[in-house]
Structure 1
């Protein structure tokens, strides 16, 4: 009876699509591709191209030579897969209708882009072995369905930086193929950097003779000391013929290649080739390490604009995209503030400061590109000093720049580093290849809503898309790029395609597990480890009973935990909600998938804090006293011993008198606590910093590093406490921040009313 029942049960169709369609109706039955199947088309030559593209794709693994024929029919044809260009189909570019029945398959769209996306959906519904291009003895069955699909955003992109590390054309094409598979339509090609210029410009041969190569490359993390280098010359560039080949290859897959030519900053490689374009005249060298450099194009030199316009003329000749990306980010103004030519330019153009000079620079580049029928995109720093009239903004420093630009009625592409920077770690750093820092699991990527809640419905219309960014300081190989990009790029693809209200991470995770088979067949070196649970704290410190929340960021797993210090397993407690804690100890937790694969153990110590009391009285003066010392400091201890200038600051901040780099600060005074309870102090700096309270070191954030935060919890009684903040800046950007979360959960970043000295 069991056998009889099993033989009568119809297989359940699966629809493991990434991104998932905006509307999909499940049906019973399947359509089989066999040696009698035909591929038909009705429409333009571009429609025929899609039909032939599909037939050529199917044939190698299936061994069926699918014939492509023109048809006059506008309906489903029995035994055929039919592509029809129908101007009556509604929807944005990329919209399509797909009908799969046991009798045949019909794809309709109002343009070839939609037909191509219909093909990608059919492709993903076929067994993954279709990707291998080798004979596979499986049944080529398509599950029956009715799909009406349309993309949420018109811009769905992925960025690749080839300036820090260079990748061959074959990999660039593979990168584009993966974009096409996931219905992404923009490849943002970051071609120039301080560390290398990667595009041949025939009028300026030194850009490829000199600027495309650096003498050696930094070893280890950019923030580590002492600095080490590999002693190996490194570089490469794309010829104009290779770049045109990439553009054509992408266009055949309905992907626009947007080139990025950085200006006015990130220009040190170009200056190494043509030093007369810098404020000092050089000499310059192609950068060997990572970071932000003060050598930028001279804004007061007409030869700078002549050079950039000539470069952009050749760029426009290669790249037919409406948009040209001009960077505009991370441009230090120190050289401009010292340069006689730049000062003269500011006076002539009535610029109040160097930020307005940058706006002049960007606007001038925009006017030139506009005069040739092109538009500019820039990173959100182009807002500084006033936004160029027709510019599109990429909001990367969170969402603030995007909100501001949308309210000014400029188009915006959301690409915040908090959610779509794929150079961040996706697992614990100790278990992963070196990365720039941060932690961005796929669950956080997927959670992002590109439409800020603070925008009105009208303002939200200016958010035209999303983009993931791959910065490659620590990605020397193509395989490493893939490892960092996938599967997080799959989440970005679905973010760009589906409305936020339609997205569900658990369902996405289930589909992704099947999608991994396709990435395997495509030989993609993707990340697929069982991730440990995460918590918002690395230690629980309490004065009253509290709770600990865990988050599962692993695909297809459950969390198991213990609170007695033992190692958890499948017999331990299953996490279903916040864990109540009232005693000291240690929480241990793991995630385990269906096959029993177990993550690393997450360990969270649990500590009861004792209240401390203030040891000072309020000072007579507001703010903090400040000692500012100059010098090449290596630690906070060096700053404490140094002599310096005496100042007063109103808050925990770097005084305006501070130089660009090589200085240290000692801020001292008292802070008054008006509410008893548990406080969390968070000290961030680039480079080192320390925080003392009651003459005790409570946060040690010392050393050479980029912007990094460290935290401490303190149980404080009401009263006045002596405080001291020590800070030093070496190179690479100055920053000092103190945040406090009060017992009632309020985040405080300004302390002027509580400080005295």
Structure 2
């Protein structure tokens, strides 16, 4: 028998030589996070502090020894299939970088435990307890467990995000985190109409949202430049109306199966999809697809520019409402979430009288198919339906009259989602030199997107009327995932914290340090981001 240079033959058997034994020993020690001298690497003695998390938790009490994930760690759950689903998600997240099996089991103790139990958690809150013997995440609802898992993820070294085995060690600081969100609506919007994004690209965005406990994905599915969802009763909407995009590219649309896969994937990350069909304006893709939707019976050409306000459904024709009902019925059947967004902004080619008539006809259709109306804040120029939410995208410079309508609606019971364009529109340029984005709402640097309070943003609005915040990303200039990420990061985590954390717990000077620490995680995830000079990135920003 031939043997390699690193083996010796004794007593008729091949044995590893000393060099091989040393190499194997080194590899084993690296796998457990120890050096040949038995010393623990620096990161092992200084796990990520409990208060380094984004969004900032409601309460942090550090103390005690850290917990170390090892080859023998199990993930324990109760008998709940929802808890098991979160546990399987966690195991799948940790296995590639740790190289450990991390079996999910409903037996035994220690390790990582996910448990559902009654407590002061609300629908999305959780408690995380960490010590030498293990980590326990407790929540009343599965969404709380999932958000607790994101906190656990933030407490581990950034290398945990990589898809190859890393040396570790995998320490979680000792102590207790108690947490629950300030607002129930913490959203981001992706405009897939100006430029189309594939199912996989949308899934990548969903994963990035989940990392920061965002719970709503608003998909802008129709506009002048493209219709992106298949509607069986009006097939040319997708096949013709979806055949292009800004600049004249190939466009695209989601089949019903593809849309359902996006909804399923979002739900697995505890995000609710809110689909938007914008109307009566922003409808050129629909008007081009069906001549009968135009008052003159003539279909306009497809549109690949970026102007707004020129299109309108024909409010006086009954066929318009047949169209609306068919679209709402089919989209509602595909969407298990509670909401359907009907747009309503920049309907400059629709008279005020026609706008009011249209909204009075359309809002009951949404309710008929079991959904709650969401509309842009221009809906307050009509009469928002009972229970409707309006999404405010105005600026500091928005007219007093327009703001007064929004305030009045809020005072009368309409809920508000705050998306001020000069604070949280992710498509706004950071500075004059930003190569992507627009600047009609001004330049929005990282501090500006973070340093505001939704509860006090519109004077006269009852604080209880504010349901949350949402960061829209319009895509006139955005064509791929890398560009989405460059515009979203580092602003998106700040908006997530604005929606999750109590106003009194937020401070820019402390936040920017926590934000800088996220850079290593983004590197590990392959996320593009803007190196804002307002953030002390250090070596990670180079």
Q: TM-score, normalised by structure 1?
A: 0.63
- For 1:316 and 1:454, how far apart are their aligned partners in 2? 32
Work out whether residues 224 and 285 of structure 2, in 8 Å CA contact, stay in contact via their aligned partners in 1: yes
- For 2:195 and 2:460, how far apart are their aligned partners in 1? 41
Change (3 A) 1:594 1:125: closer
What SS does structure 1 have at the residue aligned with 2:75?
strand
- For 1:171 and 1:386, how far apart are their aligned partners in 2? 37
- Candidates 440, 445, 450, aligned match of 1:441: 445
Deviations 1:566-623 (A, max 9, x none): xxxxxxxxxxxxxxxxxxxxxxxxxxx767999xxxxxxxxxxxxxxxxxxxxxxxxx
Partner of 2:218: 188
1:518-597 aligned within 5 A: 518-530=521-533, 554-556=534-536
Partner of 2:99: 63
Partner of 1:159: 189
Partner of 1:14: 49
- For 1:521 and 1:355, how far apart are their aligned partners in 2? 51
User: CA shift at 1:356, angstroms?
Assistant: 3.6
Quick check: 232-241 or 189-198, which moved more? 232-241
- Candidates 303, 328, 332, aligned match of 2:319: 303
Q: Which runs of 5+ in 1 are unaligned?
A: 219-231, 337-353, 531-553, 557-592, 599-757
1:80-95 aligned within 5 A: 80-87=111-118, 89-95=119-125
Partner of 1:169: 199
Change (3 A) 1:378 1:594: closer
- Candidates 467, 487, 506, aligned match of 1:464: 467
What SS does structure 1 have at the residue aligned with 2:203?
helix
- For 1:372 and 1:205, how far apart are their aligned partners in 2? 21
Work out whether residues 129 and 521 of structure 1, in 8 Å CA contact, stay in contact via their aligned partners in 2: yes
> Which has the greater radius of gyration?
1
Q: Which runs of 5+ in 2 are unaligned?
A: 1-38, 397-402
Deviations 1:172-214 (A, max 9, x none): 0010001111000000000000001011111111112210123
- For 1:596 and 1:316, how far apart are their aligned partners in 2? 44
Partner of 2:295: 279
Partner of 1:483: 486
Superposition CA RMSD, Å: 2.3
- For 1:13 and 1:288, how far apart are their aligned partners in 2? 48
User: CA shift at 1:478, angstroms?
Assistant: 1.9
Deviations 1:371-421 (A, max 9, x none): 222111000111113333332100111382643331121111011112111
- For 1:525 and 1:13, how far apart are their aligned partners in 2? 23
User: CA shift at 1:160, angstroms?
Assistant: 0.6
Change (3 A) 1:53 1:193: same
1:562-711 aligned within 5 A: none
- For 2:541 and 2:157, how far apart are their aligned partners in 1? 26
Partner of 2:8: none
Change (3 A) 1:136 1:595: closer
User: CA shift at 1:266, angstroms?
Assistant: 0.4
User: CA shift at 1:233, angstroms?
Assistant: 4.6
Work out whether residues 201 and 314 of structure 1, in 8 Å CA contact, stay in contact via their aligned partners in 2: yes
Partner of 1:414: 418
1:214-225 aligned within 5 A: 214=244, 217-218=246-247
Change (3 A) 1:201 1:382: same
Deviations 1:690-733 (A, max 9, x none): xxxxxxxxxxxxxxxxxxxxxxxxxxxxxxxxxxxxxxxxxxxx
Partner of 2:31: none
- Candidates 423, 427, 441, aligned match of 1:423: 427
Of Structure 1 and Structure 2, the greater strand share is in 1
- Candidates 239, 243, 250, aligned match of 1:213: 243
Partner of 1:258: 274
Change (3 A) 1:311 1:434: closer
- Candidates 365, 379, 382, aligned match of 2:379: 382
Deviations 1:486-517 (A, max 9, x none): 11001000001101111011111111111111
- For 1:453 and 1:434, how far apart are their aligned partners in 2? 25
Partner of 1:499: 502
Partner of 2:177: 147
Of Structure 1 and Structure 2, the greater helix share is in 2
What SS does structure 2 have at the residue aligned with 1:425?
coil
What SS does structure 2 have at the residue aligned with 1:84?
strand
- For 1:13 and 1:168, how far apart are their aligned partners in 2? 35
- For 2:307 and 2:48, how far apart are their aligned partners in 1? 51
Larger RCO: 1 or 2 (CA < 8 Å, sep 6+): 2
- For 1:213 and 1:42, how far apart are their aligned partners in 2? 49
Quick check: 397-406 or 59-68, which moved more? 397-406
- For 2:457 and 2:232, how far apart are their aligned partners in 1? 47
- Candidates 8, 15, 38, aligned match of 2:74: 38
Q: How many residues align?
A: 493
Q: TM-score, normalised by structure 2?
A: 0.87
